[in-house]
Amino acid sequence: MAAASEAQFVTFSLGNEIFAVPVEVVREILDHEEPFRIPHGPEYLLGLRDVRGQGVPVIDLRLRLGMSATEKTPHTRILVLDVPVDGRVLALGLVADRVYEVVPFQREQIETAPDIGIRWRSDYIAGVVRRDGGFVVIIDLARLFSDSGSALAGVTPAQQVA
């Protein structure tokens, strides 16, 4: 019965923010290596990486979420995910500043995205969990990478100050 009331998530950071994805979509976690660049791809598509004989697109999740680009450190990792989207499974590599742990969240702990009274691009948020005096944002990967979803349509990265 405990298994039905909780779900397991892999937690990781982008800057100072903590995010999570369901453990069942995580195939493996790899050290960061520069991917093979693909010309004319979206800015957040860093390129392809060979993962056990399969070309896997590597996504800078920070750019996809409208943040500044990832700066590689010794802690930078790539989460290789198998994401079910629109009846198919996408193999994606998401760049994370740091990967922390697998953690169980009780289903009743997971809150919906906050309502701030206006429309904002929160459809990629599957839920929010209060933890250690802060919050963990659970990402809805299917919405984030779906053609039909409106998640983050038109999001541009933060402007760099010259």
Instruction: Share the mean pLDDT of the chain.
Output: 83
Position 30 scores a pLDDT of 96
**At residue 160, does pLDDT exceed 60?**
no
Position 147 scores a pLDDT of 57
Position 65 scores a pLDDT of 86
Strand 88-96 relative to strand 54-60, pairing: parallel
Distance CA 35, CA 45 (A): 10
* 78: its two tokens: 């790539």
- Amino acid type, 42: P
Instruction: Specify which of 9-13, 60-64, 152-156 reaches the highest per-range mean pLDDT.
Output: 9-13
Look up the pTM and report it.
Answer: 0.82
Kindly indicate the confidence band of residue 158, based on its pLDDT and cuts at 50, 70 and 90. Answer: very low
The answer to whether 120 touches 35, Cβ cutoff 8 Å, is no
Query: What is the helix (H) or strand (E) element at residue 56, kind and residue range?
Result: strand 54-60
Position 91 scores a pLDDT of 94
